[in-house]
Structure 1
Amino acid sequence: MFSLKFHLLGSFVAFSLIISTSGDAQDSTTSTGDELLARYFAAQTAIVTKDSLADVKTLEDWTRQREERHAQLQEMLGLKPWPERSPLKPVVTGTHTREGVIVENLHFQAMPGLYVTANFYRPEKQEGPLPAILYVCGHGGVKKDGVSYGNKTHYQHHGAWFAKNGFVCLMIDTIQLGEIEGIHHGTYKYGMWWWLNRGYTSAGVEAWNCIRSLDYLQSRPEVDGEKIGVTGRSGGGAYSWWVAALDDRIKAAVPVAGITNMHNHVVDGCVEGHCDCMYMVNTFAWDFPMLASLVAPRPLLISNTDKDRIFPLDGVVDVYAKTRRIYELHNALGNIGLNIAEGPHKDTQELRVNAFHWMNRFLKNENPLIDVTATPLFTPEELKVFDELPKDERVTSIQESFVPMASDTLPQTQKELDALRTTAMLKLMYRSFLNSPKVPGSDVSSSKPTQSWESDEATLSVIEYRPDAVYSLPMFVLKQKNVSKSKGVRVFVCDAELWSEINPRLATQFPDCPYFSKVQTSKTEGKLPHHRPGETLVILPPRGVGPTAWNTNEKKQTQIKRRFALLGQTQDSVQIHDIVQGINTLEEMKEVPLHIQGRGQAADWLLFASMFISKDSKIDLVNLSDDLRDGPYLLQVSQFLTKPQALLIAASQVKSLAVQCESPEQDAAWGSVEKVAQQLGWKKDKFNVQPSQ
């Protein structure tokens, strides 16, 4: 029997969860769930923080793992393997000169159709190649009459200063706030949770655009290609980190207001103020000092203000202190600095001056007084690249193609299925479920029986099991009275929809049982799911459902899901973990064989849980969505698996699996899988599909 591979879970500290108490009023009916979730996030964050760089004691330790860490970052940004370095096809569309500064309006293609709009600043008088700055822009949009001029126009004063002081500077637009307006806020705003399945983040596109910007800079005769620095603030601070960590051509970096630690993001709630472009898909559960350490031993100035609400001072200092230790191992303490200016999250002169000093010092070996202020020289219209946007642009749809997906080919032979299953199971364990929780030094599914309640018709008992160090989850066992021998055990994986149906019924039938809400949640008395007379009925709600439900506000739900992803998990992955541990608990109690059913979202969970439970189980999946785009959402799963392939693997792992369709789309998708099953010689009692009516 396959089993999930888990990391150890250390001790936890209880914190108040910002998402349940700020903004919208907290739902009193979810107070227990909110408190548990807060404790869980604090505990998982403590593990991530503790594990980050903990095994680096010597320079040899760091040197030995740096290449692997670099590859992990590449993967978490959706850049593994590296995309093809296709021709840039640069085009200069206009030039302006003012106060000794020439600015060129230009575009190039980081990938075919992935246009990068930019301004290239250089001195009007130049003798020979000069050090270059890649300036990456934060979230400072400039629009007039609905037309976007790009955030490069908002930050133009930086480019002008560098050109006035003996540098050339390439300032690029982002894909969200550029002249071509793409999407950063996939999970933050648009509910595109399938980005997690793809292993896609808008941060990856920004990182690639930065790397290709270095290619462009090195192609220009005005540039000394061995002296390139990067800087930017806010979102631009984050992109500075990506490119400096990934590309050693960056010789000096000043990320401004672009980093803090995991505790600030998850426990203190800073994630709620950040868009997707600030985060890698954190498959390997990094804390942010790991990212910063990849820049060592190259010159790095970490710059921030002391009253920045979304990059708090304590977290910034923590990142600096842990990164400084890596520089110390390199004997390069002179190459790392911490600049803290007074003020909020704002582009202040104090921050700019220190960045200018740093680039002068490390790219020009100079340290002059800064006697020229950074002021804008051009109108937004003068800096615009396109009069008309290109029809072949992929900026607005790049999320659909940036990360390669798994082939949708279904295996046609047992040998092909075995090979697919072996590869997919390893990827699931070492990618999608890599950071699933575990209790240290004990049986993860340890359970305890609790009291029972009786009605005229049935006996209700509760089994509590521990899927991790924080949660103790209940399963509800209903046995009919006057039945001498159970005719089997039917387990219903319970999502929020099913809970809303059974809660009023069980609350009425067992009024003294504290797990069921006495608040009338339905106009009807509720109902139990269909099962055969004489069967023992088990209701299995994972965390976040029923007694442990957390805040139901849609915006808060979004930020809860984003927190899970920051910790290298997903909400679905931990709920699947709970289901596996609950089923394993029942198996250990000898309540076999099990007949397990899930409907809708619960069917999505059970599809993947089926791959990790007893081979004697019988599985029913009702209204199973036909595409991973609709869930479940598991880190990187779409890179190596499609949903029809997952169904074949699940069916091969259990005694029987049945799919009940409820739409023509499901008929088509699961019908194609049934044909493969027949080709493999599987009988109807092994795998069958019931089409929709």
Structure 2
Amino acid sequence: MRIVAIVLMSLLSVQPVVAQSPRAYPVGEIPADSRVGELQTLNGYFPFKAVADKADWSQRQADIKRRILISQGLWPEPTKTQLNAVVHKRIEFEDYTVEAVYFESIPGHFVTGSLYRPKGKSGPFPAILCPHGHWNDARFYDAGVDAAEKLIATGAERFVNAGRNHIQARCVQLARMGCIAFFYDMTGNCDSIQIGHRPDKSDHLDTAENWGFFATQAELRLENMMGLQTWNSVRSIDFLLEQPDVDSNRIGVTGASGGGTQAMIIAAIDDRVTAAMPCVMVSTAMQGGCTCENAPLMRIDQGNVDIAAAIAPRPLGLTAADDWTRELETKGYPDLQNLYAILGHKNRLTAVFQTHFPHNYNHVNRVVMYGFFNRHFNLGFKEPILERDFDLLSKEQLTVWNEQHPGPSGTDIGDSHEIELLKLATADSDERLADLIPSNGNELSEYQNVVGKAWQTILGRRFDAVGDVKFTDTKQVSLDGIQLTVGRLNHLDAGEQIPAAILKGSNVDQKGVVVWITDSGKSGLLSGDGVIDSVGEALKSGYTVVTADLSGQGEFLKNGEPLESQRMWYQRRGQAGWERFSGYTYGYNHSLFAKRTHDILTLIKHARSVAGKQDVELIGEGRTAGPLVLAARSQAGDTVTKTTVDLKGFRFEDLTKQDAPMFVPGAVKYLDVDGLLSVCAPYNVSASGISDAPVASKVYAAAGASEMLKVSGE
């Protein structure tokens, strides 16, 4: 097509038309775009996204689950290696036992905990995961006698030992009820000594090689602390299912605070969980403040109520307290009631709102939990089920490490272990994705399901979800046979607005429309007093050219200088290493790259209305525009006939900062620019400035569309 030849022409000379760069807004005014406001943060408002029926919920549930898995670096699922579980150091009581446990969730990385079993009963038994949350060294935690007595005085507890360690109390009671309970350590707590929970310093591991968590290269691969902790939960279920006395049809999970986060996450992503009770965590308000509760991409278009709901129609229990969950009864819970009613299982939802107590998992709420599992696991107890006193176990009694079972040391702890752990994760992810690259049409759908859906989630919008757009012109200029219209292009549903320009040849019949993107916005099509030669030739040939200042370009900039970084939100003062975790920003907000991709899709939607039945083509030239146009092409379906890009050698892997304007969480994991090009298949793409695209070439071949892809290093 002639337009392709035009694009490959020199972009230096000009066709005199316009005296200055066109503006859609008065000088000093920026677009009325919702995205220029405050960033969304973990302290925002996250209402449940309602569904109409079972079919809607099935799709919504799949979207929630996939977004969580992608955010944690678990899409596709990592290789499950041998656990090499060790169970030892049995402590006997009259009606239950406690054993020390450690196993390898990843080769060389240990999950540690205590296994509580019923005594004097015959299995198979239900098994319940008990993540603990941010009670310091929770398995070894001791609030002290004075604190416990105060809890008893307020009605929160019945016994001193339960007040001293409420998590031990619940494990003992569950074992007495005939359940196996696994109380496992969060990363960096108790016997989990290989990596700290929240590092004060992390910059020294932000390198191009030998990186750690919180590094740019880690975030480009979605390697994060929350993902490690979630994987530990997945492997904990694997461990429980290896026990001969566990009933695989009755697997539960319950935890409070950060343990509630772990509980709702594992219940959402792992169908082996048959009932879950995340406590004092689920709400439309604060979503969790720790790095173990946040990950890039995770809470875009969803919040904790949606995540907790993802277990539906399996049983779900909730509690609230005088904390960020205090409004759950009126905000969030009614939505869950409606959902369970739609699904025909109203009796599977349980919630209590003891908001006169502060943040807790006290006896009052544990009694509700015991009743919840009693009913759904058919334990046969008369309710209410009240605790009896028990013997509180000390750190010395519970620790899994001793002379016979020495704990990790040397290079198996600290920075060296963290680096090695991420090397293993990177190698495994690379291998898993390489195995998915299709060699024929039969293998193509799985690749598209994994890599295609990953990019769809990362980018956050497809053309078919763009909705209504409206162009309002603010200025028209007609000179030398070319008509220039400048205006404001509104994406009505999203509240987005971009300065756009339309160029038409006045005395030629329209052949089609070209959406033309540059590194600098609409001014990139101009030079001096005119348009660049290639645009002039396209206009003479009958093509209408549509362009815009994308988010963070042109008229979005008050000082006119190109952006050097994205806006970031940091926890607390942003001084400690963990406080600057990019997941606090990208977990709640689209990257600038994704926002700009949305803008191009909005332009395509308008271009389609201008083109009518004629073709719409895409052009992007530059290290910013080229990858962005590929991203838009990947989400545009059959609305675009031809795409031409010059990538100028850009690769996401070359980025060194997490706030770089082109930074995209997960971009390297999903095969960088080559992967982005691959998910454009089977549509027509010509890409220059990329030395090789082996993945895209194989995917296009598997789709029977090799002739639709042209790649050049020039």
TM superposition score normalised by structure 2? 0.62
Distance (whole Å) between structure 1 residues aligned to residue 354 and residue 425 of structure 2? 36
Residues 686 and 247 (structure 1 numbering): CA distance in 2 closer, same or farther, change over 3 Å?
closer
Q: Tell me the secondary structure at the aligned position of residue 365 of structure 1.
A: coil
- Contact 1:175-1:184 at 8 Å conserved across structures: no
Q: CA deviation at 1:451?
A: 1.2
Distance (whole Å) between structure 2 residues aligned to residue 257 and residue 401 of structure 1? 37
Q: Does 1:542 align with 2:541?
A: no
Query: Which position in structure 2 is the counterpart of 1:522?
Result: none
Query: Which position in structure 2 is the counterpart of 1:578?
Result: 599
Deviations 1:465-498 (Å, cap 9, x if unpaired)?
A: 34452223222468999x9999x99976355xx3
Q: Does 1:609 align with 2:632?
A: yes
Distance (whole Å) between structure 2 residues aligned to residue 74 and residue 654 of structure 1? 32
Distance (whole Å) between structure 2 residues aligned to residue 245 and residue 286 of structure 1? 13
Query: Which position in structure 1 is the counterpart of 2:160?
Result: none
Q: Does 1:338 align with 2:352?
A: yes
Residues 278 and 364 (structure 1 numbering): CA distance in 2 closer, same or farther, change over 3 Å?
farther
Distance (whole Å) between structure 2 residues aligned to residue 673 and residue 164 of structure 1? 55
Residues 584 and 409 (structure 1 numbering): CA distance in 2 closer, same or farther, change over 3 Å?
farther
Residues 596 and 272 (structure 1 numbering): CA distance in 2 closer, same or farther, change over 3 Å?
farther
- Contact 1:136-1:236 at 8 Å conserved across structures: yes
Distance (whole Å) between structure 1 residues aligned to residue 218 and residue 136 of structure 2? 27
Residues 69 and 490 (structure 1 numbering): CA distance in 2 closer, same or farther, change over 3 Å?
closer
Q: Does 1:181 align with 2:195?
A: yes
- Contact 1:138-1:233 at 8 Å conserved across structures: yes
- Contact 1:492-1:539 at 8 Å conserved across structures: yes
**What is the RMSD computed on CA atoms of the aligned residues?**
6.2
Query: Which position in structure 2 is the counterpart of 1:525?
Result: none
Q: CA deviation at 1:110?
A: 3.4
Distance (whole Å) between structure 2 residues aligned to residue 581 and residue 674 of structure 1? 29
Q: CA deviation at 1:271?
A: 4.6
Deviations 1:436-470 (Å, cap 9, x if unpaired)?
A: 27799x985553432147999x9974143344522
Deviations 1:631-660 (Å, cap 9, x if unpaired)?
A: 97779877875533544776985574431x
- Contact 2:501-2:522 at 8 Å conserved across structures: no
Deviations 1:46-70 (Å, cap 9, x if unpaired)?
A: 997133xx2139xxx98x8899789
Q: Tell me the secondary structure at the aligned position of residue 576 of structure 1.
A: helix
- Contact 1:406-1:641 at 8 Å conserved across structures: no
Match of 1:213 among 232, 236, 246: 236
Distance (whole Å) between structure 1 residues aligned to residue 387 and residue 513 of structure 2? 80
Match of 1:555 among 569, 572, 577: 569
Match of 1:260 among 283, 297, 313: 283
Distance (whole Å) between structure 2 residues aligned to residue 592 and residue 564 of structure 1? 33
Query: Which position in structure 2 is the counterpart of 1:49?
Result: 49
Query: Which position in structure 1 is the counterpart of 2:338?
Result: 322
- Contact 1:283-1:431 at 8 Å conserved across structures: no
Task: For structure 2, list consecutive stretches of 5 or more residues without a partner in the other structure.
Answer: 2-27, 143-163, 207-212, 540-544, 559-564, 571-581
AA at the equivalent of 1:330: H
Task: For structure 1, list consecutive stretches of 5 or more residues without a partner in the other structure.
Answer: 2-27, 143-150, 265-269, 511-527, 660-665
Distance (whole Å) between structure 2 residues aligned to residue 279 and residue 675 of structure 1? 31
What is the percent sequence identity of the aligned residues?
A: 20
Distance (whole Å) between structure 2 residues aligned to residue 401 and residue 67 of structure 1? 30
Q: How does 1:617-656 map to 2 (within 5 A)?
A: 618-625=644-651, 627=653, 643-644=673-674, 646-647=676-677, 653-654=683-684, 656=686
- Contact 1:230-1:253 at 8 Å conserved across structures: yes
Q: Tell me the secondary structure at the aligned position of residue 332 of structure 1.
A: helix
Q: CA deviation at 1:582?
A: 1.9
Query: Which position in structure 1 is the counterpart of 2:114?
Result: 119
Q: Tell me the secondary structure at the aligned position of residue 619 of structure 2.
A: strand
Distance (whole Å) between structure 2 residues aligned to residue 649 and residue 81 of structure 1? 16
TM superposition score normalised by structure 1? 0.63
Q: Does 1:596 align with 2:612?
A: no
- Contact 2:296-2:585 at 8 Å conserved across structures: no
Distance (whole Å) between structure 1 residues aligned to residue 273 and residue 448 of structure 2? 38
Q: Tell me the secondary structure at the aligned position of residue 174 of structure 1.
A: coil
Distance (whole Å) between structure 2 residues aligned to residue 284 and residue 489 of structure 1? 33
Q: Does 1:493 align with 2:517?
A: yes
Query: Which position in structure 1 is the counterpart of 2:497?
Result: 472
- Contact 1:132-1:169 at 8 Å conserved across structures: yes
- Contact 1:161-1:375 at 8 Å conserved across structures: no
Deviations 1:160-206 (Å, cap 9, x if unpaired)?
A: 3245545353211234654232789999x9375976876x7765654
Distance (whole Å) between structure 1 residues aligned to residue 246 and residue 446 of structure 2? 46
Q: Does 1:153 align with 2:156?
A: no
Q: CA deviation at 1:256?
A: 0.8
AA at the equivalent of 1:172: Y
- Contact 1:173-1:179 at 8 Å conserved across structures: no
Residues 182 and 406 (structure 1 numbering): CA distance in 2 closer, same or farther, change over 3 Å?
farther
The range that moved more, 626-635 or 285-294, is 626-635
Q: How does 1:21-100 map to 2 (within 5 A)?
A: 32-34=32-34, 49-51=49-51, 54-56=52-54, 86-92=81-87, 94=89
- Contact 1:118-1:172 at 8 Å conserved across structures: yes
Residues 340 and 389 (structure 1 numbering): CA distance in 2 closer, same or farther, change over 3 Å?
farther
Q: Tell me the secondary structure at the aligned position of residue 369 of structure 2.
A: helix
Query: Which position in structure 2 is the counterpart of 1:517?
Result: none
- Contact 2:551-2:599 at 8 Å conserved across structures: yes
Deviations 1:486-522 (Å, cap 9, x if unpaired)?
A: 9x99976355xx369989x99xx99xxxxxxxxxxxx
Query: Which position in structure 1 is the counterpart of 2:181?
Result: 169
Distance (whole Å) between structure 2 residues aligned to residue 577 and residue 634 of structure 1? 14
Q: CA deviation at 1:106?
A: 2.2
Distance (whole Å) between structure 1 residues aligned to residue 82 and residue 451 of structure 2? 36
Residues 345 and 318 (structure 1 numbering): CA distance in 2 closer, same or farther, change over 3 Å?
farther
Match of 2:130 among 131, 135, 144: 135
Q: How does 1:299-310 map to 2 (within 5 A)?
A: 300-308=316-324
Deviations 1:331-368 (Å, cap 9, x if unpaired)?
A: 636x6343433244445554445435545676461446
AA at the equivalent of 1:383: T
Q: CA deviation at 1:301?
A: 2.5
